[in-house]
Structure 1
Amino acid sequence: MNMALFPEVVVNGETIPSAAIAAEAQNHSAPKDKPGIAWRKAAQALAIRTLLLQEARARGLQPDPEELSPGRVETEDEALIRALLDDALSIAPVTDADVQAEWAKDPERFRSAPLWDVSHILCACDPRDDAETAVAETRAKAVLVRLDGDAKGFANAARESDCGSKAQGGHLGQLGPGDTVPEFEAALRNLAEGTMTPAPVLSRHGWHIIRLNAIAPGQVLPFDTVRPKIAQALEKAAWARASRDYIAGLAKGAQITGASLEPI
């Protein structure tokens, strides 16, 4: 990326190095043919960070880094921004009435996880090897052609599987969300009970032909069960709104060039 094509970012007289923006840009998504979007997102993120740090120092706040997880401790800048937001924001407590109202909007949203009874046929390959992947895909497609939509013949076809489940006709048992790789689960979610994938599905293990034998939909959970989760979500949303409003207020009184704080 030619950094000369992008303007210098200055927040209240403090210049953000272009190298810092380039490094930050790696953390932001953008279409491959539009790297400027990642740059603008990075410039915005660092402008906001700089604005918050300036305000924290103006208030005379001192960083007190906390341990976020085993082996992961806040940086001094992260601790300073947290101290500022703790000092500046006042969030109204979430009440039982708030939680009840949110739940009542649509209790169907709060369900236990579904269970899928699944079988599969695996044509193993390393997806990083194009030639190996192509051969495995050809095998998988040939199995599908022989099945010709006959899900009942799945167990016999599974004898060709590269998975140990072939001894059980490809049966994997009951699976829930998170029990399989994302590509496998995404395919499962699009299957109707008693059907199989119309085309092989590629994962890091190879090509899968997947059959959904049966599904047990998740049950609507009682209000008392989901109350803590709803309360936590409402608190998080309120904190996010207050943070956005606070940053917008700081931005109005700031001099910022080279970056926009409007949503990208």
Structure 2
Amino acid sequence: MSTILVTGGTGTLGRLVVDRLRAADHRVRVLSRHVPASDLSSPVDLRRGDGLDAALAGVEVVVHCASSPRGGDDVAAGHLIAAARRAGVGHLVYISIVGVDVVPLPYYKVKLKVERMLAESGLGVTILRTTQFHDLVAQALAAVAKLPVMPLPAGVSGQPIAVEEVADRLAELAAGRPAGRVTDMGGPQVLGFEEAARTYLAAVGRRRRIVSLRLPGKTYAGFRRGGHLAPAHAVGRGTFAEFLARRPADRG
């Protein structure tokens, strides 16, 4: 079996990818800023790049899950690409987001830049774009639900997908050959934010008045047009309501 390195391997998605690859008997290394050094894991800050050569020694495949909305993904990708070339890595799998080429959110623009860097890197590359994870949508709604009134962007929908299903797909792609950009992966339902908020409130036993707001700017317009959705690729199975039902600790 291959030796596979997973960046961001302690994160919400990365740790599930690690579990699946190990269950398939691959030799897996975890790369993260938050793990102790061992023969299977490396504490590396990709934005600095120190220690990457040692972490990638003997690695055949990289699954790049590390990302930060605070910025620096392009810098991190540059370090990773250079080190992967030096190490002779044959396949780099990257998780991206549906709509990075349509919605001008700054974080999305950086993700698109990373896609282009990978495509031009000369490495064997596979890029998977997915819609939003259930976890992210729930976190956003939980934050807004702390207010007496829940303000939501008018006319915007989401298409949340189970992170476990994305991990399954990434593990499958990592075991295969480089495929370029593969088919997008979307959740099973396109769900208006108001409906998602009501589903969340019912699940946690709260009451809030929901207020829909029209917002200025091109980013909001991109979301209203549904550039971040993939209704033609609604391959996910687990719904947002089912995800919330599995989280009894969040109630109240």
Q: TM-score range by the shorter chain?
A: under 0.3
Specify which structure has the higher proportion of helix: 1
Normalising by structure 1, we get a TM-score of: 0.21
